[in-house]
Amino acid sequence: MAQIRIGVDPDNALGRQLSDLEKSQLPYAASQAANKVAYEIRERWKRQAPRVFDRPTPLTVNAAMYRKATKAQPYAEIFIRDEAFKGTPPAKYLLAEVDGGQRRRKGFERLLQSRGLLSPTQFAVMGRGAQANQFGNVPAGQVTKILSQLGAQRDRYQNQTTVSRKRRRGKSNNRDGEYFVITKRRGALRPGIYERIGRGSGVRSIFIFTNTAAYTPRYDIFGMAEDTWKRLMPFFLKRELEKAMETARPLP
């Protein structure tokens, strides 16, 4: 899923007999045509992502990238971005959404597991009480706050101590923004992370712990790439060869 190659067969590029001059220009024309098709596949992904995924992040929309073909390497490579300045690279989290299957564990899930708050077989999915951001996810700031209160931050200085919690609570009887974990079912409350509401005993679910977090296949990126190649490669190859012939020097 992470990489697709787009190349050509120079021996049958146009389905006709080529002159010696055309054959000499074909490697360059083929590489240019492959690059044009690769670009179109990337742009098609950008257009399709908002239709396939629910409120995709900019990182998801721009996940498809390509490496250009050259005369020596007459194929372009389409691949899913495997690095990210912050967060998880698309190549990791899109694998399950594109191909289907169990998703990878997120960073905060691994942190919860390291504190013994989440079992190795569990995933944390968004609860009904969570207020999603514009991309349909629990805001990163809230996740950081939860990890801090639960003492699950990598940086121990970011973890909120019992003293600091009491000091904050002492300023107000309002308990909003106070989080706690349930590891075993407690009455109507399933295992998960909850936020206390107001001054009473009300709570709302932010994350629910579940043993499954599987996706059904959403988008056949291989099929999309192949369809784009079949439709556009003949056109671009013919055009690029004609352009190369216009500026080519006669053979000796």
pLDDT at 251 over 80: no
**What pLDDT does residue 80 have?**
87
86-140 per-position pLDDT tens digit: 777 888 888 777 777 777 788 889 999 988 999 988 999 999 999 988 888 899 8
Sign for the pseudo-dihedral over CA of 199, 201, 202, 208? positive
Q: Name residues whose C-beta falls within 8 Å of residue 108's C-beta, 6 or more positions apart in sequence.
A: 124, 143, 146, 147, 152
Degrees to nearest 5, angle at CA 185 with 195 and 172: 20
Backbone angles phi, psi at 64, to 5 degrees: -80, 130
Radius of gyration of the chain (CA): 26
Do 161 and 205 reside in the same domain of the chain? yes
Do 20 and 86 reside in the same domain of the chain? yes
Cα(225)–Cα(77) distance, integer angstroms: 11
Could you tell me if residue 238 is inside a domain? yes
**What pLDDT does residue 17 have?**
67
Do 97 and 110 reside in the same domain of the chain? no
Could you tell me if residue 252 is inside a domain? no
Cβ atoms of residues 206 and 228 within 8 Å: no
Mean pLDDT across the chain, nearest whole number?
81
Average pLDDT on 6-31 reads 69
Do 108 and 97 reside in the same domain of the chain? no
Reduce the DSSP state of residue 6 to 3 states and report it: strand
Do 97 and 130 reside in the same domain of the chain? no
Do 73 and 141 reside in the same domain of the chain? no
Model confidence, pTM: 0.64
Do 161 and 139 reside in the same domain of the chain? yes
Domain that holds residue 222: 3-101+215-247
Could you tell me if residue 219 is inside a domain? yes
What total number of domains does the chain contain?
A: 2
Cβ atoms of residues 178 and 200 within 8 Å: no
Closest C-alpha among 247, 246, 245 to residue 20 = 245
Which two structure tokens, joined as six digits, stand for 216? Answer: 């059904």
Could you tell me if residue 20 is inside a domain? yes
Report the range of poorest mean pLDDT among 59-63, 192-196, 212-216.
212-216
Do 160 and 201 reside in the same domain of the chain? yes
Share of the chain above pLDDT 90, in %: 30
Do 79 and 19 reside in the same domain of the chain? yes
Do 137 and 220 reside in the same domain of the chain? no
Cα(2)–Cα(95) distance, integer angstroms: 8
